[in-house]
Every structure is written in structure tokens, then in C-alpha cells.
């Protein structure tokens, strides 16, 4: 098996707020990295995120009107760039397509959130979360279900501590060509 040539594929880790998406990704990422894969992560933030500190040169450039500011330091590139926010959640797929070129040198792109984008989804659902039902068990884009609940589906089901098994699943289904 070889890594797909038309990479990277994009998958989305979805679930309700407080379901443990970020916590699960913190467990998953090291397993994929150990396999030698490079991952790009796209995080959906409902509130603004301040990537740059007020008063620093890059902030001053952006604040003065630059449409994009890139900071290059040893081993790290950071970018803040204006873009037009889609006016409806139905356009989440368009947003992902517009930014995926920034991560074209990755083996896989994992999106946290953007639950309405037309992407393969891995849903995380916890019993002790504030919600009593999963969101996407009937969604045709659901590829796997990660849970500690009794909910069942015909798709692969993983436990919340099965990050290594999920990494193997992602590798076979979304990174390697068979």
C-alpha cells in the first residue's frame, strides 16, 4: 500500500459542544504522527481567535490594513488572513475547500467542527455529556462512531480510549491507497 497521490483527504471530527472532540484529537494525533503521517488540523472557532498579540509588529501590519500577515520564525510559520465568512452553515464545505490549499503538503487534514460540511465524519458522543442523542447516526457522511454509549450503527464503532484503533482506521480508509 502507498500513500494516496491526490492527497490530502479531509475528514471531520464532529460532535456536540462538550463531547470531547479536542480531547480525542489530542489522543489521536500522536498515533498518526508515530506512523509517520503529517496532519493539518482545521479548527472551527465560533468566536474570534486572536492569533497575534496587540502591539507586536505583525499585529500592527494587520491593524494597518494588510489583508494577510505571515510570521516566519525558526521551524514555524503563522498566518493571519482576511477571508469572507460564508453567510450560512450550508457553505461550510466551501470554507474548507478554500483553505485546504494551505495544507496541501499534509497526508491528511482533520477538521474539528464544521459539522454541516459535506465531509466524511467521525462523530464523538459521550454519555455524560449534556446531550442525550448523537447528531449524525443517520448521516450518509458518517464514517465511524466514537462513543461510550449503547448507541449502535452498522458503521465502525470505537470507544473513547481507542485512539490507536481510530488511527489505524483513518490510515486504511483515508490515507493509504489499496
- 106-152 pLDDT, tens per residue? 999 999 988 888 999 999 999 886 788 999 999 999 999 999 999 99
CB-count exposure of residue 31 (10 Å: 0-12, 13-18, 19+):
middle
pTM for the full model? 0.84
pLDDT at 38: 93
| Inter-helix orientation angle 163-170/21-34, to 10° | 60
What is the arithmetic mean of pLDDT over 12-35? 94
Of the candidates 29, 41, 38, the one whose C-alpha atom is nearest the C-alpha of residue 163 is: 29
pLDDT category of residue 52 using cuts at 50, 70 and 90:
low
What is the arithmetic mean of pLDDT over 91-104? 80
pLDDT category of residue 70 using cuts at 50, 70 and 90:
confident
pLDDT at 1: 58
What is the arithmetic mean of pLDDT over 75-102? 75
pLDDT category of residue 101 using cuts at 50, 70 and 90:
confident
Residue 42 has pLDDT above 70, yes or no: yes
Of the candidates 112, 92, 135, 118, the one whose C-alpha atom is nearest the C-alpha of residue 39 is: 112
Of the candidates 2, 88, 83, the one whose C-alpha atom is nearest the C-alpha of residue 42 is: 83
Poorest-pLDDT segment among 58-62, 99-103, 119-123, 144-148 = 58-62
Q: In the CATH scheme, what is the code of domain 2-47+83-177?
A: 3.40.50.300
The overall average pLDDT reported for the chain is 85
Amino acid at each position: 500500500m502507498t500513500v494516496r497521490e491526490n492527497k490530502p483527504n479531509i475528514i471531520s471530527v464532529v460532535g456536540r459542544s462538550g463531547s470531547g472532540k479536542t480531547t480525542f484529537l489530542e489522543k489521536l494525533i500522536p498515533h498518526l504522527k508515530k506512523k509517520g503521517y503529517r496532519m493539518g488540523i482545521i479548527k472551527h472557532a465560533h468566536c474570534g481567535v486572536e492569533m497575534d498579540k496587540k502591539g507586536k509588529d505583525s499585529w500592527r501590519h494587520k491593524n494597518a490594513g494588510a489583508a494577510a500577515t505571515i510570521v516566519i520564525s525558526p521551524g514555524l510559520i503563522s498566518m493571519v488572513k482576511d477571508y469572507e465568512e460564508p453567510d450560512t452553515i450550508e457553505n461550510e464545505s466551501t470554507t474548507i475547500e478554500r483553505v485546504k490549499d494551505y495544507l496541501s503538503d499534509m497526508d491528511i487534514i482533520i477538521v474539528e467542527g464544521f459539522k454541516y460540511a459535506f465531509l466524511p465524519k467521525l462523530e464523538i458522543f459521550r454519555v455524560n455529556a449534556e446531550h442525550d442523542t448523537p447528531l449524525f447516526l443517520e448521516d450518509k457522511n458518517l464514517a465511524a462512531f466514537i462513543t461510550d454509549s449503547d448507541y449502535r450503527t452498522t458503521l465502525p464503532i470505537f470507544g473513547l480510549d481507542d485512539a490507536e484503533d481510530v488511527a489505524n482506521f483513518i490510515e486504511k480508509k483515508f490515507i493509504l491507497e489499496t
